[in-house]
Amino acid sequence: KNPKAEEWWGRGGTMSEAAVREVVASLTPLQRYVLLEGGVEDDTDGRKFVNGYEWDNKESGVYVSAVSGVPLFSSVDKMEDPRLGWPGFRAPIDLQRVVIRPDPRAPSAKEVLDRASMTHLGHIVEDGPLPHPSEHYCINAASLRFIPADSGSTSTP
């Protein structure tokens, strides 16, 4: 057991602890590090979505939580700037599906969690100069699964 991971999830999410454990057991060490310990992928990790799509995928579809399967982001709101280095989104599909809070490891940062599993997705970051900066959701590919629009499915936990 990783005691650090134990504190990351199960904090009020709608998924049971047993369900989260079951899904997380099937993920890679990198995916568990990102989701449970608030880790961040780096450029040597390959930054692929849980089901193998590249982070800069341009297909139409929905990005769901790798743990809960809840649809969180849409390709309609995906940012096309390749300089981001991580999947970037203007907004989630529904703000009620995510939790935004100060990051306990870096209180000045805004952490984004999957509300259902309470697992770490990424951060909200500012882009653009003052006086009118905008924000976007900088999300780890390891925390998401991509569902193509033509697949007929919107979620696969």
Q: Which residues are catalytic?
A: 138
Integer Cα distance of 122 and 97 in angstroms: 14
Which of 146, 100, 154 is closest to 122 using CA atoms?
100
Integer Cα distance of 81 and 25 in angstroms: 33
Angle, helix 17-25 to helix 29-37, in steps of 10 degrees: 150
Residue that has been written with the tokens 């259902």 in this structure: 116
Rg over alpha carbons for the chain, rounded to the nearest Å, is 15
Integer Cα distance of 101 and 132 in angstroms: 22
DSSP 43: T
Longest pairwise C-alpha distance within the chain: 46
